[in-house]
């Protein structure tokens, strides 16, 4: 057990002179059920901040534009998941490129295998060259996947009573990847993992349904950046990746066969974020330059068109984070602006609020805790 002192503001992304220094990549966003929403990000000093909306009438908390300090240091973007009411799990890459984990049990932040609660993130070991992907297919289950320094994918699961293969060990799934992993589950006992081949630039896929499949080549590409995987229900898998020409490509498994690849247009450096608020519904938000763009599928047609995109304006440093409340057509879009502000836009089922090209400011991620002081970051 050790702690170290953060003495300088080290940004994940250093902007040009005169511009704010902010973290890049996607924010971590999750919910255990409406109206709860939690978002995590990385501050300029590499600490992890947290903010949430609980539907209590007090708005986003902590209030006054501040953020909760998670007492952890990150060298990459955090990821988060929830398996049920009052449960949050978040993960990040920390010291020596190892994976770390902390969870909310409804009363306090804690570690599964270590104490005291609240102070530390538990170290899950490993040595990673990408961010992590995490999914939960049900209560007492989550799966973590990351790219090793040998460019293979590593996997670890919490099975309800212990880590598999162990808290300090990872299962090597093989492969040779230029991207980090994308993961998704369409139901209990199912996990799909996707990544871009370092050899061909095509998409590779592996799944668990009681045992591991081999790696299958889904073709396409050559792809750049990280892919995204989604599902709107059992038997459905959607794969999203950016071709080297910058256009978003889409392929899906319809329950019996693959369809695609098809180009949906756009100009991106990594796959946009995708959500399904209902079966057959797709909403996509991505980053084109410093602006966000979006498109939607209603089950029959793409809007504004098959290869067109709505311009959502803004001036963003981060990739977007997007969340949909299932069955409600209620969508949240969050991102960190070039000014360091965490920004929010909401689709209420009829219109974008505060407007299609405007955002609310939720607080300054450059000074998330309200003061600039030395502090100790604690990880196990």
The distance of Cα 257 from the centroid of its chain, to the nearest Å, equals 28
First to last CA, the chain: 5
CA atoms within 13 A on the CB side of 197: 16
The residues that bridge with 284 in the sheet, in sequence order, are 274, 295
Buried residues in 4-21 as b, exposed as e (16+ CB within 10 A): eeeeeeebbeeeeeeebe
pLDDT at 379: 57
User: What are the pLDDT tens digits along the chain (380 aa)?
Assistant: 233 222 222 222 222 222 222 234 579 999 999 899 999 999 999 999 999 999 876 799 999 999 999 998 898 889 999 999 999 999 999 999 999 999 999 999 988 776 566 678 899 999 999 999 999 999 999 999 999 999 999 999 999 999 999 999 999 999 999 999 999 999 999 999 999 999 999 999 999 999 999 999 999 999 999 999 999 999 999 999 999 999 999 999 999 999 999 999 999 999 999 999 999 999 999 999 999 999 999 999 999 999 999 999 999 999 999 999 888 889 999 999 999 999 999 999 999 999 999 999 999 999 999 975 444 445 55
**What average pLDDT does the chain have?**
89
Q: What is the pTM (predicted TM-score) of this model? A: 0.90
Largest CA distance in the chain: 57
- Residue carrying structure tokens 């196990």: 380
Token pair for residue 352?
A: 């974008």
Looking at residue 362, its pLDDT comes to: 97
Distance CA 273, CA 185 (A): 16
pLDDT of residue 110: 86
For residue 273, the cross-strand partners are: 285
Question: In whole angstroms, what is the distance from residue 222 CA to residue 202 CA?
Answer: 5
The pLDDT of residue 347 is: 95
How confident is the model at residue 239, as a pLDDT?
A: 98
At 237-263, the pLDDT tens digits run: 999 999 999 999 999 999 999 999 999
């Amino acid at each position: 057990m050790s702690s170290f002192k953060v003495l300088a503001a080290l940004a994940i992304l250093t902007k040009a002179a005169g511009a704010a220094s902010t973290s890049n990549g996607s924010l971590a966003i999750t919910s255990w059920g409406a109206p709860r929403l939690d978002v995590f990000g990385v501050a300029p000093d590499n600490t992890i901040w947290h903010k949430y909306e609980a539907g209590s009438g007090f708005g986003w908390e902590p209030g006054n534009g501040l953020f909760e300090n998670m007492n952890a240091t990150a060298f990459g973007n955090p990821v988060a998941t929830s398996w049920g009411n009052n449960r949050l799990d978040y993960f990040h890459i920390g010291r020596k490129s190892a994976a770390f984990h902390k969870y909310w049990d409804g009363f306090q932040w804690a570690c599964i295998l270590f104490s005291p609660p609240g102070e530390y993130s538990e170290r899950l070991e490993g040595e990673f060259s990408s961010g992590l992907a995490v999914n939960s297919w049900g209560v007492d289950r989550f799966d973590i996947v990351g790219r090793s320094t040998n460019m293979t994918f590593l996997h670890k699961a919490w099975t309800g009573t212990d880590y598999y293969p162990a808290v300090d060990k990872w299962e090597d799934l093989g492969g040779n990847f230029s991207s980090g992993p994308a993961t998704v589950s369409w139901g209990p006992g199912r996990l799909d993992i996707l990544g871009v081949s370092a050899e061909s630039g095509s998409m590779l896929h592996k799944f668990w349904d009681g045992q591991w499949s081999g790696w299958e080549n889904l073709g396409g590409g050559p792809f750049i950046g990280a892919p995204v995987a989604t599902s709107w229900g059992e038997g459905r898998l959607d794969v999203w990746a950016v071709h080297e020409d910058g256009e978003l490509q889409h392929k899906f498994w319809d329950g019996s066969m693959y369809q695609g690849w098809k180009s949906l247009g756009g100009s991106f450096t990594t796959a946009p974020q995708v959500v399904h608020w209902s079966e057959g519904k797709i909403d996509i938000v991505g980053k084109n330059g410093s602006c966000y763009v979006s498109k939607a599928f209603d089950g029959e047609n793409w809007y504004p068109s098959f290869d067109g995109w709505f311009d959502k304006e803004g001036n963003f440093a981060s990739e977007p984070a997007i969340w949909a409340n299932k069955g409600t057509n209620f969508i949240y879009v969050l991102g960190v602006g070039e000014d360091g502000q965490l920004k929010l836009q909401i689709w209420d089922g009829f219109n974008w609020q505060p407007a299609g090209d405007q955002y609310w400011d939720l607080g300054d991620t450059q000074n998330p805790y309200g003061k600039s002081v030395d502090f100790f970051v604690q990880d196990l």
